[in-house]
Amino acid sequence: MKRPVDHLACCTVWGAALFTLSACIELSEDAPANTTPLINTLPEHHCSHTVLGNYQFEDGLSYFGENNWIEYIPGTLPIIIGAPHGGELTPDEVPVFNDGLARDGGSQEYARAVAQSLYNLTGRYPHLIINHLARNRLNLNRAPEDDNQESALAMVAWGEFHQFIDQAKNWVEQACEKGLYFDFHTNGHEHGYVELGYLLTRDELNLSDSQINLLSDTSIHHLANQDDHTLAEIVHGEFSLGEIMNEQYNVLTIPNATNIPFQHDYFTGGYNTRTHGSVDGEVIDAIQIESHFNYVNSGESTRLEYSLKLSQAIFQYVEHWYDFDLQNL
């Protein structure tokens, strides 16, 4: 039986202790949902939900790493969400290595809210991986040797976070053959836009469509390499994630179909988007979502409203580009 995210039982992967998770956020199941297909086509792709022999997790349960700093909630959707910079724990045994690194305020909260909303829309959970350590103690969007400390305990948590993502990717690849990883962050740039990162720089996104279509160093390379669409269509076309959010949900985004070229500050995507996307030939694509503070740190009601919009946009985007019927997998 599937359980709403806010009533999850929780367990530790390396221990036997069970306890109740109280930090989860639930969106109302009565909230209006837009599940209208972007175009009137029948989905062609389905997932196999046969339990995999080497998959040790049950969907809807929270699993924790060795020190309860990394949390994994497995799902059965071809969607994976990571929240690497939303932690608040400051244990004495993990010293500060960079006091200039601040928490992505609201990122853990909106990750949970989006996961809950996707469950409300589909009856299935996305995979959700959350870091609970403060960012000034562990930077999970960098390689261990790059902007990280030498604390052995911190490096254990670093490994757990990325191993949980790998396990989620393994399930998605084996069950669904393709899917999408989202790396959730927040940004405070003056422009107020949600920034969608595909490992393409601002200068690259400002190129002509024909030039964009020649680019291959992108976290959605697997999707862009299909024969029936182009990279330019995916990143700023009529059915791009940015355009869905902008046109259908009135959320300011870059890039989208109407704001190319742009000169705003822009995060292209980091270590996680490169490592867990398809730039090197994998079948799981990745998009970094830098939600603006205005949407996720202006009160709970604003954050939940934005999270519902984002989840519906993700729902439509995945159904359109990946040929899934997420309500009937």
pLDDT single digits (tens) 107-153: 999 999 999 999 999 999 999 999 999 998 899 999 988 766 778 99
Determine the pLDDT at residue 39.
Answer: 56
Give the percent of the chain with pLDDT over 70. Answer: 84
- 0.95 exceeded by pTM: no
Sign of the four-CA dihedral 48, 321, 85, 245: negative
Please determine, for residue 2, whether its predicted confidence score (pLDDT) is greater than 70.
Answer: no
Q: In what order do the strands lie in the sheet with 9-12?
A: 18-20, 9-12, 62-64, 70-73, 127-131, 79-83, 179-187, 284-292, 194-197, 253-254
Give the percent of the chain with pLDDT over 90. Answer: 71
Q: Can you tell me the mean pLDDT for 233-251?
A: 97
Determine the pLDDT at residue 294.
Answer: 95
Query: Out of 3.40.190, 3.40.50, 2.60.40, 3.40.630, which CATH number does the structure's domain 5-22+58-203+266-322 have?
Result: 3.40.630
pLDDT class of 274 with cuts at 50, 70, 90:
very high
Cα–Cα dist 14/143, whole Å: 24
Residue from 113, 266, 87 nearest 191 by CA: 266
